[in-house]
Copies of this chain bind each other. A is one copy, B any other.
């Protein structure tokens, strides 16, 4: 199934207790694309400035990220600068330079319009809607958002909710959006406003899927070394949607599998800075880790 992502393609400068990067490859579409292409090619929609390193574009294209939908504009690429606390639990944004993203008006190439799976990365909900308007008949639309848009564009977000199938947010965002601190009530609130499915990402604790069939919980893969949480959520989305695209199966059982593949690609993302870890591992390692999630949660209480 054709898989489309719209999101930022950025240059990130990140400080963590373990080191820092300057202008490293980042952005929601980037992390999504690197994770999803373990499973299926990706059609990317975004914008970059004329300062964007061409070798990064080449590497993305080689990987199976179609860049026909990525506009090259005159000006600077989107830049984000952030710093994590010693325990990686808190992130402070030090600087955001929208650059060419400020005037971004996504236009989908013809072949993108037939995409069946769409991931609307965390950008202005108006842009998310504009992309969605150009996709002819998607089978599944998933969407990420954040506190900034929940605060600033609640009406647009409510419009968007009606048109998407899966909302992916973290627990703070689910609480903020619904006004309810209980995440299961929050998920219900959200599902009553459009999305059939809500995925609540809980960082080091894992992620929860709430849909018509019930609740599914996938833990975070236990890691003794975490370098940089940037992009984990987008990498999760990439694994999730990538698996759906390659399998072409939108059954409840397959959404559970997709959650596990999402947790897997999310866990690789945080093991190095930027998309570094995705350059080191292959499909075999992805699959092996995904399978090992079974050991983490397996128990048998029949007979008790």
Are A257 and B304 CB-contacts (below 8 A) given A87-B181, A185-B224, A222-B184? Answer: yes
B216 engages A297 (CB within 8 Å): yes
B215 engages A260 (CB within 8 Å): no
| Choice from B175, B215, B247, B261 contacting A222 with Cβ under 8 Å | B215
A216 engages B299 (CB within 8 Å): yes
A300 engages B257 (CB within 8 Å): yes
Are A301 and B182 CB-contacts (below 8 A) given A205-B205, A217-B296, A296-B217? Answer: no
Q: Which of A88, A219, A287 has the most chain B CB atoms closer than 10 A to its own CB? A: A219
Chain A contacts with B in 169-185, Cβ cutoff 8 A: 175, 181-185
| Choice from B89, B185, B301 contacting A257 with Cβ under 8 Å | B301
A290 interface contact, C-beta 8 A: yes
Residues of B within 8 A of A224 (CB): 182, 184-185, 188
A299 engages B184 (CB within 8 Å): no
Are A256 and B298 CB-contacts (below 8 A) given A224-B182, A224-B184, A290-B304? Answer: yes
A278 to B226, CA, bound (A): 40
- Binary interface profile of A, 46-81, with partner B (CB < 8 Å = 1, else 0)? 000000000000000000000000000000000000
A206 to B181, CA, bound (A): 17
- Size of interface on A: residues with Cβ below 8 Å to B: 49
A226 engages B287 (CB within 8 Å): no
A215 to B294, CA, bound (A): 11
A146 to B202, CA, bound (A): 25
Residues of B within 8 A of A260 (CB): 299, 301
B217 engages A299 (CB within 8 Å): no
A130 interface contact, C-beta 8 A: no
Residues of B within 8 A of A301 (CB): 257, 260-261, 290-291, 293-294
23 A-B residue contacts at CB 8 Å? A86-B181, A87-B181, A182-B224, A182-B226, A184-B222, A184-B223, A205-B205, A206-B219, A214-B296, A216-B296, A216-B299, A217-B219, A217-B222, A218-B299, A256-B298, A257-B299, A257-B301, A257-B304, A259-B299, A260-B299, A260-B301, A287-B304, A291-B301
List chain A positions with a Cβ less than 8 A from chain B.
Answer: 86-89, 175, 181-185, 188, 202, 204-206, 208, 214-219, 222-226, 243, 247, 253, 256-257, 259-261, 287, 290-291, 293-302, 304
Other 9 A-B pairs with CB < 8 A, given A202-B205, A205-B206, A216-B299: A87-B181, A184-B222, A205-B205, A208-B222, A214-B296, A216-B297, A256-B298, A290-B301, A294-B299
